[in-house]
Chains A and B, each alone.
Chain A
Amino acid sequence: MAVIEMKKISFIGFIYDREKILDFIMKKGAVEIDSLDDSKDNDTSLIVSYDSELHELESKMTQVKSAVNFLSKFDKSRKGLFFARREISESDFSQICKSKDSMNEKVKGILKIEDRINSLKTKINRLNNDKESLMPWINLSLALESSGTDQTRFIKGNIPVMIDLDEISDELEMQSDYIHFESTGRDKDWHYIIVVCLAQEYRETFSILKKYGFSEFFNKSFVGTAKSNVLKIENEISKLKEEIQVKQKQAEKYSDDLDNIKAYYDSLKVETDKFTAMNRMISTQSTFAFRGWVPVAYAEDISTKLISQWNCYVVIEQPKEDEQFPVLLKNPPLAGSVEMITGMYSLPDCREADPNRIVAPFFFMFFGLMLGDGGYGLLLAAFSGIAIWKFRMEESTKRFMKMMMYCGIATIFWGAMFGGWFGDLIPALAGDPKRDISIWFNPINDPEYLLMWSLLFGVIHMFVGIGIKGYNFIKQKKYLDAIIDSLFWYVLFTGLIMVVMPFVPAVDQNFALDASSYGKYVLLTGIILIVLSGIKDAKNLFVGLFKGIAKLYDLISFLSDVLSYSRILALGLATSVIATIVNQMAMMAGFNVLGSVVFILVFIAGHSLNIALNSLSAYVHSSRLQYIEFFGKFYKGGGKAFSPLKIDTDYIKLK
């Protein structure tokens, strides 16, 4: 359907044209250059490696990137709500590409400032640590370096906080009469103490202290009292801080250049891509050649333009029957918006139908059913609609917003069907919470009915999946496979559904019993067909029959897949019940001034929380139903994304 067909392109040209030809291809952005095929391009002497250039570019890019990150802190220009690349004209961009040297100078200057600021900051940290360590001794009038007088010794240090100080002072006093013991303070880990003792008793005193886990305060770099040292340190810190401010001012001056430096980064990136592409080519002294892929629609145009502008040789050919080509999808907006969801699972194989057009309606329908509240849908659709309309944003963000908008619209639809507008807000405000304003029915009153419908939607979803499998076979002209792998399964599963009909809630029992009595035969036919189908491709009859019987296990997995769709009911009910609770809590304060304030606050907080949680779970569960129940029926996947050589930038966008 919408997997774009690719043509194979082979190219030989002269090396002195290479630069210009690559520029041309990049600007077109429609040719993917294939990596070298080891088996065919076996002459290694033709492969020229540009790894050293790439390496150099990479290290330059990291430098520029860190300069950009550093400068962004000082960038005060207004930014939009969403990230969008800056638009820049082609001539401006090539100007920047040419002014490499001055750009490099600037980057170096910026990195120097950053380095200086960082080293200043480490210095300040170290000084702060020193200051911290001095704080316990701030009131000590003795110089820090003094260790006593002729006759006395002076000891200062800290002891773990869990030690009882009285115990120490008792023991010290026992040991000597001439001793002074004092605590100067404590913090959460340590007691800080001072001891003055006789010089000849120093050893004994010290060993007693050691016993209690004492560690001495000792730092040769401090001279004078603690207070004077602290003052000195504070002085130094304020000086360093001043210097940081000066440096930051310098950096701010550079921030005018930020846009240009970002563009410079992108120019390096473009160059890197060019070298990576050249790494995939083979070349001789004067020629170079590559192979690649180009979408059918562009093939003619590109080859004629290449031939008319340069002396070269271009061959465009159809890919071989079994050759894998890169996958590029093209879909109308509705289907395109779910490409992201399918892409997160896997891209389709290049010869498989693109499932997005079928995923889209089911995805949105299930999302709507699971959120199931018109008011919430309205908010989602309005928010994303306004975002798309008013704000500049990147293409990928826009796609996501579009998906949200469609989700919101589907939710409005199902909310109207089930009568949920911010839970039971409308009937509750009208004073009659039990009134039913649904178009179809209210699932809170009749959950079993919605359960039946959920399972039915599931069966339809999976039958469509089986149908696509058949379609893929027909496309490849394998008609027998189409019959076996989809028609036979239809018979089998239809029989199964008819047989279990009486067990499904909310189904008319007479109808169900009738269905089940006929269903037995359908099921039996299905079983026979499937068992016999095992014979195809089997070595002998018994192996084939055994394979066929093993296939019947799918009956059980089909049943559990169908049950898995009951989450539609569960999640839908959870949303509406919580919304109802929020409304009840909001209205508790009654209808007066205070009541309306409470109402507004609770209403906004409660419903925002409910929207956030339940739209998240509706999103992930709706995706899951696609990935496991739906894709499991037919999807091969594993396609490689088409990644053409193009101008691929992070910060700027060429006009």
Chain B
Amino acid sequence: MFRYLFENVSGDIWAFLGAGLAFLLAAIGSSIGVGTAGGAASGVVAEDSDKFVPVMILEALPSTQGIYGFVIAFMIVSGNIGGLSLEQGMNFLMAGLPMGIIGLVSGIYQGRVAAAAINIVARRSADMVKGIILTLMVELFAIFALLISILMIGQI
């Protein structure tokens, strides 16, 4: 079956797979992350609705992985599809993987840190910035993944 796939399919489908994975995995990560943070956020708002804004900012932080995945998927698909060779298609698939996989993992874990940071806000609103910084530590790796994916696409 694999033999058939490699010999009879154009490169386009692999590029689509790369774009799909980049967005799919990263968006799953973000969904889980925002979901985790959102649960904690609703709990805090239920107690004190004045804390809605700081809590909302923290909840939004893990959504960036999905956005980065979206960017990569778009960069792969726009203007590249149509008569790609097998090698080029494979290259696009590889370029999509860092964003997808790192987006999935970092989204989930960033969500956990964000939920913990929301609990900081619940006790002391003044420490919100510290919570944001702690949450951003996880984000760095998603940014690196975005960067690596962009650079890889640039090389194809």
Contacts and interface: CB of A to CB of B under 8 A. Distances in A.
B143 A566 contact: yes
B129 A344 contact: yes
A621 interface: yes
A627 B71 contact: no
A451 B133 contact: no
A617 B64 contact: yes
B129 A570 contact: no
A567 B140 contact: yes
Interface in A526-568: 563-564, 566-567
Interface string B70-84: 110011000000000
Chain B interface: which size bin? Answer: 20 to 34
B71 A566 contact: no
A413 B146 CA distance: 25
Nearest to B142: A570
Nearest to B72: A577
B151 A447 contact: yes
Most buried by A among B133, B143, B146: B143
Contacts of A345: 129
Nearest to A454: B147
Contacts of B140: 564, 567
Contacts, number: 58
B67 A616 contact: no
A617 B129 CA distance: 13
A101 to B, nearest CB: 33
A503 B144 CA distance: 16
A573 interface: yes
Contact of A578 (B71, B150, B154): B71
- In terms of DSSP, what is the predominant structure of the interface of chain B? helix
Interface in A559-589: 563-564, 566-567, 569-571, 573-574, 577-578, 581
A456 interface: no
Interface string B118-156: 000000000001001100100010011011001100100
A624 interface: yes
A623 interface: yes
A648 interface: no
Contacts of A570: 68, 143, 146-147, 150
Given A451-B147, A564-B140, A567-B143, A573 B57 contact: no
B143 A577 contact: no
B98 to A, nearest CB: 12
B45 to A, nearest CB: 18
Nearest to B60: A616
A447 B64 contact: no
B136 A620 contact: yes
B150 A573 contact: yes
B63 interface: yes
Contacts of B71: 573-574, 577-578
B78 to A, nearest CB: 8
A234 interface: no
Most buried by B among A566, A567, A570, A617: A570
A616 B60 CA distance: 9
Given A447-B154, A578-B67, 9 more contacts: A451-B147, A563-B144, A567-B140, A570-B143, A577-B75, A578-B71, A616-B57, A616-B60, A620-B57
Interface of A: 344-345, 447-448, 451, 505, 563-564, 566-567, 569-571, 573-574, 577-578, 581, 613, 616-617, 620-621, 623-624, 627-628
Interface of B: 57, 60-61, 63-64, 67-68, 70-71, 74-75, 129, 132-133, 136, 140, 143-144, 146-147, 150-151, 154
